[in-house]
Amino acid sequence: MGGASLLLACLSLTLPDTLHYTLTFSLNELAFDSIGGEDLVTLRGCQPILKEGSPSLPRFPAVFVIPAGSRVGDCWGTVEQSSSINGTFSIWPAQPPFPISQTDSFPVVPPDSAIYNSNSAWPSTVCQPADVGAVDGTYLARVDVFPLTWNPNTGVLSLRTEIDISLEVIEDSIPAPDPVLMTDYFWDRRVEQLSALVLNSDDLEDFSIIPDIVPENDRGEGSAPIAVDCLILTPHAWASSWQPLIDWNIQRGLYTEILTLEDVEDGAGTIWGIGRDWPEMIRNCIRWQHENRGVQYVLLGADSRDPEESPDEPGSDIPARGCPDYFPPSSGLLTLANDWYYTCPDADLSWQTNGNETPWGQYHPTNPALNDEMDLSPDIFLGRIPVHSMLEVNTIAQKLVDYQQRLPSGCNPAIDLLIISANVDVVDTTVIPPIVFPQTWQHLAEVVSPVSGLFDRFWVAEEGCLQGPYEEISPDVVVGMLDGTYEHADGGAWRVNFGGHGGYNYIGANSEGNVGTAMVHPHHLREMTGSSGQFCTGWAFNCGTGQFWFADSDTSICETWLGTDSQSSDAPLGPSYVGNVYQGLNSPVVGASPSHMLNTWFLDALYNQQSAAGTRGQAVSFNQAKLMYIDQWLSFPPGDIPPPIEFAPNEEVEPMWDLLNANLLGDPACPLWLTEPLGMPVHHVSVVNAPAQFTVRVTDDDDQPLQGARVCLLLERSSSFLIYERGQTNSSGQFSVYLEPSSPGTMTVTVTKEGYLPYQGSVAVRV
């Protein structure tokens, strides 16, 4: 984790007790810039202090795993070493984020006179606690560490290069959860995921409630695996249409079952809790499936419901949980429609605990007594495909299989990529000369690994992009974008840079909020991905994502994005659509706004983290981004909820905005192609006389052993598994298992690994 090194850890303790760690920071990781004539200093791995008017210095959000059932009562830091930085500095005061669609220049918050007129170094505090939450039985805590100090009187900056941190851990008031069922494979992946987040990864297994771990190849009654890896929730009428995706998941080693919404209703009160409304009944079901059957991925295979409609009665949809933007709602205009509610199924933190029947998820920034207690740290990986017809299910299920098994000839997803995002530049005209603040994508280009070459290939010329805010562009621009006639159009990936908000079936709006003549509509996506389409994969980071609940309207833009028929296309659009509803937030400091940080962490997890075995579903990177958002942005030191931001009379947003409104549209278990896939030669015999040892050897194109390839052996008969063995290749590129089926047949061998085209072959099994 950039920005700090961990030198020391104290492992064993009984509550209450104290943990001790030492953090080190390097002068080499400092960077300096200027903004409005003031100095801006950044430190790798740190986020800016966001308290308005205070010096915008870096803070390091140190995340630790702590003993299960505990929380941080207090923390203190001792500076062991520090170093002054050459020169004198005048530090830019922190500014609030502001809406990307705001046409007026943002107001400049003046410096806090109590700080800027002081003769003392600021901040005097070394560290402050800000609790995070728990992922199943792994408890996380954040401590904000302040590695830099600045003396306003002398202009001297100092870096605290070595800091001893002490955490007082005390018993939490909420009982620790019972162990959940989990396969050994997914426990290894959980440790892998959280190790990228916490500083003291060596403590993960010592401090966590270890799940009820079962070997993934253990099978129960009917020969099916004991644990279910992936669960699809959908109406009964569409269940059979998901079968191509279910079959492929099982073949690649992700055991998948379907549960109809009618089954969810039937099981309420006997297997899982009834719930106070239909979403809570679904959430209770998901929690039971996760705790008792080991479910890790959940695909919501249904449309949502208009937030204005009552969520009380069960139906053939899966309502997004609507939460208020701020309590009390300013004018009832804004609702945070989110699926995150289903990923955090802690029974004690039900999102409705304050005694009010409605709304759910109240989150007051100044009066915690009015809060609903919410579990915000995800326990499962969840995505939604907002279908509302069997035809859509048929198309999307097959498309997901096609996307994972092959890419069109000559297609390189690192180049043939369409990304739709909001404006990237904001200009402050209140100062002379005007300041241009580069935003999301320029910032992302600095933090995402250049290996993919993704950001080197963006065409960012004004001509051919949908510019904003709210500019009406000639339809010729859109046509030129679609047919590739504009200069540089065929030279690399495309970023469609739109102004305004996303709507239900369009992206981009004019100043009145209406659809403009040059905005992106569903038919544009169809044209871009038809038989002459130029994009093989695509992502969207925008407010159109969340607008997926109108079942009675024409197909929404995200349904078009996900559902373009790959059978009639040489370039199927990839199955991912990520964004937030209605409103994004910018910040005067590059990368400091919640929207941009969430996007940054998603792409960083996607490009710079790789699973040690098999492939990652896209929701793994999405959850990682949300966890980073929670522990690095959601609460300010000393743990207070940041105040709401007023962007128009009687309209406010607050930090929960992006956390709740960012939804993953697509199959959560689907891995995303990031670069042109590599070949993966697989070697095994074509006939085996059982019982016998069977070995698969996997190499790369240079005939070198490939470690961590996921191997699945499948032999079915009459819906029973005669053989279902899963595992990973070792350092020699081999996976070996003893086979003793009761009957002969043809065994399918499937091998997958991130960045490689999957392999499928067959073996005749004789008994």
Average pLDDT rounded to a whole number, residues 224-228: 95
What is the Cα–Cα distance from 668 to 619, expressed in whole angstroms? 5
Q: Which CATH number fits domain 682-766: 3.40.50.450, 2.60.40.1840, 2.60.40.1120, 2.40.30.10?
A: 2.60.40.1120
Highest mean pLDDT among 13-22, 80-89, 400-409, 513-522 belongs to 80-89
509-520 b/e (C-beta count within 10 Å ≥ 16 → b): bbeeeebbebbb
For the domain made up of 5-207, give the CATH fold.
Answer: Immunoglobulin-like (2.60.40)
What is the Cα–Cα distance from 272 to 253, expressed in whole angstroms? 28
Average pLDDT rounded to a whole number, residues 504-509: 42
Strand segments, DSSP code E, in 92-196 are 98-99, 127-135, 138-145, 148-151, 156-171, 181-183
Name the DSSP class of 632. Answer: I
What is the Cα–Cα distance from 7 to 23, expressed in whole angstroms? 6
Q: What three-state secondary structure class fits 369?
A: helix
CA dihedral 574, 576, 582, 583 (to 10 degrees): -100
What is the Cα–Cα distance from 164 to 148, expressed in whole angstroms? 15
Pairing of strands 435-438, 138-145: unpaired
Residues 6+ apart with CB under 8 A from 113: none
Higher pLDDT, 172 or 751: 751
Predicted pLDDT at 416: 65
Q: How confident is the model at residue 766 (pLDDT cuts 50, 70, 90)?
A: very high
Residues 6+ apart with CB under 8 A from 239: 258, 260
What is the Cα–Cα distance from 591 to 497, expressed in whole angstroms? 18
Higher pLDDT, 604 or 733: 733
* Helix or strand run (H / E) with residue 606: helix 594-608
Instruction: Give the tokens for residue 558.
Output: 């995200």
Average pLDDT rounded to a whole number, residues 704-731: 96
- Could you give the count of Cα atoms lying within 13 Å of 14 in the half-sphere of its Cβ? 0
Q: Is 726 in contact with 215 (CB distance < 8 Å)?
A: no
Pairing of strands 687-689, 156-171: unpaired
Identify any residues that bridge with 122 across adjacent strands, giving them in sequence order: 150
Q: Which of these, 255, 189, 258, 344, lies nearest to 659 by C-alpha position?
A: 344
Report the chain's terminal Cα–Cα distance, integer Å: 52
Higher pLDDT, 463 or 53: 53
Q: Which of these, 747, 748, 759, 749, lies nearest to 700 by C-alpha position?
A: 759
Q: What is the DSSP string of 672-694?
A: ---SPPBP--EE--SEEESSEEE
Q: How confident is the model at residue 632 (pLDDT cuts 50, 70, 90)?
A: confident
Neighbours of 687 (CB within 10 A): 8
Name the DSSP class of 253. Answer: T
Helix then strand then coil, % of the chain, to nearest 5: 25, 30, 45
The gap from C-alpha 332 to its chain's centroid, in whole angstroms, comes to 28
Claim: this prediction has a pTM higher than 0.85: yes
Average pLDDT rounded to a whole number, residues 549-575: 55
Q: What three-state secondary structure class fits 430?
A: coil
Range with lowest mean pLDDT among 125-134, 239-248, 296-305? 125-134
Higher pLDDT, 552 or 307: 307
pLDDT at 570 > cutoff 70? no
Q: What three-state secondary structure class fits 148?
A: strand
Predicted pLDDT at 137: 93
Q: Is 440 in contact with 579 (CB distance < 8 Å)?
A: no
**How far, CA to CA in Å, does 244 sit from each of 49, 233, 397, 569?**
49, 15, 6, 19
Average pLDDT rounded to a whole number, residues 287-298: 98
**How far, CA to CA in Å, does 467 sit from each of 82, 371, 461, 516?**
47, 40, 10, 12
Predicted pLDDT at 130: 78
**pLDDT single digits (tens) 410-469:** 677 766 666 665 544 444 444 444 444 444 455 455 545 444 444 443 433 233 333 333
Neighbours of 728 (CB within 10 A): 18
Pairing of strands 230-234, 297-300: parallel
Q: At what angle do helices 618-629 and 594-608 cross, to 10 degrees?
A: 140
What is the Cα–Cα distance from 383 to 297, expressed in whole angstroms? 8
Across the chain, mean pLDDT equals 78
pLDDT at 647 > cutoff 90? no
Q: How many residues does the chain have?
A: 767
**pLDDT single digits (tens) 332-376:** 446 777 889 999 998 888 999 888 777 788 776 666 677 788 888
* Helix or strand run (H / E) with residue 763: strand 759-766
Which amino acid, one-letter code, is at 56? S
Q: Is 606 in contact with 541 (CB distance < 8 Å)?
A: no
Q: Which of these, 606, 507, 551, 157, lies nearest to 389 by C-alpha position?
A: 551
pLDDT at 106 > cutoff 90? no
Q: Is 132 in contact with 80 (CB distance < 8 Å)?
A: no
Neighbours of 16 (CB within 10 A): 11
Higher pLDDT, 745 or 129: 745
Predicted pLDDT at 463: 32
Predicted pLDDT at 460: 35
pLDDT at 67 > cutoff 90? yes
Q: With helix as H, strand as E and coil as C, how does 506-526 read?
A: CECCCCCCCCCCCCECHHHHH
Name the DSSP class of 556. Answer: P
Higher pLDDT, 545 or 197: 197
Neighbours of 28 (CB within 10 A): 6
Q: What three-state secondary structure class fits 435?
A: strand
Neighbours of 338 (CB within 10 A): 22
**pLDDT single digits (tens) 164-205:** 999 999 988 878 889 999 999 999 999 999 998 999 999 999
Pairing of strands 98-99, 585-586: antiparallel
Spell out the domain ranges in the chain. 5-207, 682-766
Q: How big is the CA angle at 342 (ends 341 and 347), to the nearest 5 degrees?
A: 85
